[in-house]
Structure 1
Amino acid sequence: MKNNSLPDFFSSSAELAAIEHFLHLIAKTNTFDQRLDVLQEQLRQSEQLQKKSEQQMAQNKQQYQQEINKLTQKNNEQLNKKIADLERRENKYRQEIEQLRQKIENTKTENVQSSQRPKTQTIHSNNELEQGVWIDPKTGLMWARISIGQEWKNGQCIGEAKTLNWESSKGACKDFRLAGYKDWRLPSRDELKTLMIKDKQGYACPQGVLFQPVKVEWGGYWSGSPYACNSNYAWDVYFNNGYSTYYNKNNKYYVRAVRSGQ
C-alpha cells in the first residue's frame, strides 16, 4: 500500500472533498444554533406571556371578588332594611289588633254585665256621689270614687290606696264591692285616659269627685290592656302628665275600678 503524506493528501482531490464536507458541517451547525436560538426566544416570550396572563387573571379574580363583596353587602343592607321595616309594620299591626281585641272584649264585658245587672239597682245623679261612685256623662262609665285599698264609709273616703301588680289588680277589681254593685273590673287604657285632661293636672270630672291616693296624689294606675308585643307587660296611665306606657306586670301601681254604668 502506498503511504501518502499529509501534504500529498491536501494536494490531492480528496483535499477539496474534505474541505467541502467540513464547510457543510459548519453550515449545518450554524443553522441548528440559529434555530435553537429562535426556539429559545419563542419559549422565553411564551413564558413571559403566560406569566402576564396569570397576573392578569389574578387581578381580574381580585376585582371580581371585590365587586361580588360590594354587591353582597349592598344586597344584605337592603334586605336588613326590608326586614326592619317588616318588623315595624308587624309591631304596628299587632298593637292595632290588640287594641281592636281589647275593644271587642270590653264590648262583650259590657254586654254581659248589662244582662247580669240587677234590674232594681238604680243610682240617680243626685245620690250617686253619696254612694261613692261617679257616672261620666260623656262615656256612661261608672267610676269608683275611691282607689283599691280605700274604703267608702258614711259618705267619706277612708284609708290609703294600695299598689298592686297587674294580676292582683284584676282580682281586686273582681272582688270589689261598692254601691251595691259587684261587676267591677280593671279599666282599659282608653277608658282610663277618658279621665284625663291635657291642659292641666287632674281628672276630667268635677273637682273633688274622684279621690286620689294620699301619699302619691297623681300616681300611676294599671289598665286592663296588656302590651301586644310582650305578654309580660301591660299599659298604665299617669295622671300627673297624661303619660301612658307599658311596664312589667310584676310592677305595682294604683288601681281604680270601673263598670259599665246603668
Structure 2
Amino acid sequence: MSQNTLKSLLSCRLALSIKTSQRKQIQVRSKVIPLFLLSLLPLPLGAHADCGTGKRSSYILQEDEAIDPQHGLIWKRCAVGMRWDANGKTCIGEVQVLGLNAALDFTKQEGNGWRVPSGQELETLLVNSCDHPGVDAIAFPSIEASDFGEGAKFWTSTEAIPGMFYYFDFTNGFVDMHSQGFRLSVLLVKDIKR
C-alpha cells in the first residue's frame, strides 16, 4: 500500500480506539467496520487517494499551446480538428478522429516538430481527479468533445505488441490498445527547443 493511500485512509479519520486489557482486544466503532470493509475492495490505483481539482498550475498557457516545463513538452490544447478560440478560451469545431497512420501523416503536414505523443508523454497529462476528464481542464478545456459515447480516447505512438498501439481513455481513466486503422482522437506534442 502506498504512502498516499495510507495518508488518505488516515485522513478519513477512522475512529479506532485501542483498549489495553489482559486480552489486548481492539475495539472498533461500528461505523468503521463498513468503511474498512469497503477499503478492501479491489479499486483502481489511486481510488483511495484524495481527490484533486483536475487543475494543475505547472502549465504555461500561450493561446493554443500548453507548455509543460517539468517534462520539456509543448502540447496543442485542442484535439486535431478543433481550433483554439482566444475569446472563449476554449476549443471549437469538430474533433477529427483518425487512424494512427493518418494521425502520423497529419503531424508531418503540421510540421514544426509536432508528433503523436508516446504513451509516457500522454501519461504526463493525467491528474489526480475525481471528476472527468482526468486532465487539467483549464489547459485542455475540451477533452470531453472527444467522447463519442465510449470515452475520450487518444492515440499514442507507443506499440504494445506488433500492429497494436496504446491509447488513453481520459473519460474512464484506462489505457488499452488497438490496431492502427481504428479511428481515435489525437493531441499533438513537441519538445521545447532548448
TM-score, length basis structure 1: 0.44
- Post-superposition CA distance 1:11-34 (Å, at most 9, x none): xxxxxxxxxxxxxxxxxxxxxxxx
- Which residue identity lines up with residue 170 of structure 1 in the other structure? L
Q: Is the 8 Å Cα contact of residues 198 and 242 (structure 1) preserved in structure 2?
A: no
Relative contact order, CA 8 A, sep 6+: which one is greater? 2
Runs (4+) off by over 3 Å: 153-156
Q: Is the 8 Å Cα contact of residues 167 and 175 (structure 2) preserved in structure 1?
A: yes
Q: Aligned pair 1:220/2:153, yes or no?
A: yes
Q: Aligned pair 1:148/2:80, yes or no?
A: yes
- Which residue identity lines up with residue 157 of structure 2 in the other structure? G
Query: Secondary structure of the residue that 2:154 maps to in structure 1?
Result: strand
Q: How far off is 1:213 after superposition?
A: 4.7
Aligned length: 129
Q: Which of 248, 252, 256 pairs up with 2:183?
A: 252
Q: How far off is 1:242 after superposition?
A: 2.5
Spell out the pairing of 1:194-213 with structure 2 (5 A cutoff).
Answer: 194-200=124-130, 201-205=132-136, 207-210=137-140, 211-213=142-144
CA RMSD between the two structures: 2.4
- Which residue identity lines up with residue 147 of structure 2 in the other structure? V
Q: Is the 8 Å Cα contact of residues 148 and 161 (structure 1) preserved in structure 2?
A: yes
Residue 70 of structure 2 is matched in structure 1 by 138
Q: Is the 8 Å Cα contact of residues 80 and 96 (structure 2) preserved in structure 1?
A: yes
- Which residue identity lines up with residue 127 of structure 2 in the other structure? I
Q: How far off is 1:212 after superposition?
A: 1.7
5+ residue gaps, structure 2, are: 1-59
Q: Is the 8 Å Cα contact of residues 66 and 75 (structure 2) preserved in structure 1?
A: yes
Residue 241 of structure 1 is matched in structure 2 by 172
- Post-superposition CA distance 1:183-242 (Å, at most 9, x none): 10000011111111244233443x322132526185100001122x32x21111111233
Q: Measure the CA separation in 1 of the matches of 2:145 and 2:171.
A: 14
- Which residue identity lines up with residue 237 of structure 1 in the other structure? F
- Post-superposition CA distance 1:31-75 (Å, at most 9, x none): xxxxxxxxxxxxxxxxxxxxxxxxxxxxxxxxxxxxxxxxxxxxx
Q: Measure the CA separation in 1 of the matches of 2:117 and 2:70.
A: 16
5+ residue gaps, structure 1, are: 1-127
Residue 110 of structure 2 is matched in structure 1 by 176
Identical aligned residues as a percent = 23
Query: Secondary structure of the residue that 1:245 maps to in structure 2?
Result: strand
- Post-superposition CA distance 1:144-201 (Å, at most 9, x none): 0011011235455220111110101111122236xxxx21000001111111124423
Q: Measure the CA separation in 2 of the matches of 1:215 and 1:186.
A: 16
Query: Secondary structure of the residue that 2:145 maps to in structure 1?
Result: coil
Structure 1 or 2: more strand by fraction: 2
Structure 1 or 2: more helix by fraction: 1
Q: Aligned pair 1:190/2:124, yes or no?
A: no
TM-score, length basis structure 2: 0.58
Q: Measure the CA separation in 2 of the matches of 1:153 and 1:161.
A: 14
Q: Is the 8 Å Cα contact of residues 219 and 238 (structure 1) preserved in structure 2?
A: yes
Q: Measure the CA separation in 2 of the matches of 1:223 and 1:242.
A: 15
Q: Measure the CA separation in 2 of the matches of 1:185 and 1:171.
A: 9
Q: Is the 8 Å Cα contact of residues 238 and 244 (structure 1) preserved in structure 2?
A: yes
- Which residue identity lines up with residue 109 of structure 2 in the other structure? D
Query: Secondary structure of the residue that 1:222 maps to in structure 2?
Result: strand
